[in-house]
Amino acid sequence: METKTMAQPLEKTGEKGAKVQIYTPTHICTGYVSCPSQRRLLDLLNGIPFNSDEFLRVSFAQMRFPDGTEAAVQSAHINKANILFLKEIGDEHRGLGSQVGPQPYPYVAKPTTKAVKLYMPFHTLTGQIQCTERRRVVDVLLNSELRFFALTNVEICPLAGSSESGINFVAVNKGQILSLAELA
- Domain edges within the chain: 3-88, 112-182
CATH number of 112-182: 2.30.30.100
**How far is C-alpha 154 from the chain's CA centre?**
12
Cis ω for the linkage preceding 49 (within 30 of 0): yes
Instruction: Determine the pLDDT at residue 52.
Output: 67
d(CA 79, CA 120): 17
The 10s digit of each residue's pLDDT in 155-174 is 999 988 899 999 999 999 99
Confidence of residue 39 (pLDDT cuts 50, 70, 90): confident
Rounded to 10 degrees, what is the CA torsion of 73, 77, 79, 83?
50
Instruction: Determine the pLDDT at residue 94.
Output: 47
Instruction: Determine the pLDDT at residue 81.
Output: 94
CATH topology of domain 3-88: SH3 type barrels. (2.30.30)
The 10s digit of each residue's pLDDT in 114-158 is 899 999 999 999 999 988 767 778 877 887 888 999 999 999 999
pLDDT at 31 over 50: yes
